[in-house]
Amino acid sequence: MHVEVFGTKEEAMRREAAIKRLTRAKKQLLLAEEIPERYRGL
């Protein structure tokens, strides 16, 4: 799961659309930056 906080609904929707346009590999990198090493692969 990926969580970000925005000031407005419009900002959040803009970011969601940007994330949906990312490649699968880039989405995985985004998530990997947030998950502590000890939890990866569980």
- What's the pLDDT tens digit per position in 24-42? 999 999 988 877 666 666 6
pLDDT, position 26: 95
For 6, the token pair is: 């925005």
pLDDT number for residue 39:
63
Q: Does 33 fall in a domain?
A: yes
Q: Is residue 28 part of a domain?
A: yes
Structural domain count of the chain: 1
Does a structural domain hold residue 14? Answer: yes
Q: What is the average pLDDT value for the chain, to the nearest integer?
A: 87
CB 30 within 8 A of CB 2: yes
- Any domain includes 21: yes
Examine residue 31 and state whether it is found in any structural domain, yes or no. yes
Contact 42, 13 (CB under 8 A): no
Please indicate, yes or no, if residue 3 is contained in any of the structural domains: no
Report yes or no on 29 lying in a domain.
yes
- Give the domain extent around 31: 9-39
Please answer whether residues 14 and 4 qualify as being in contact, where contact means their C-beta atoms are separated by less than 8 angstroms. no
* pTM for this prediction: 0.71
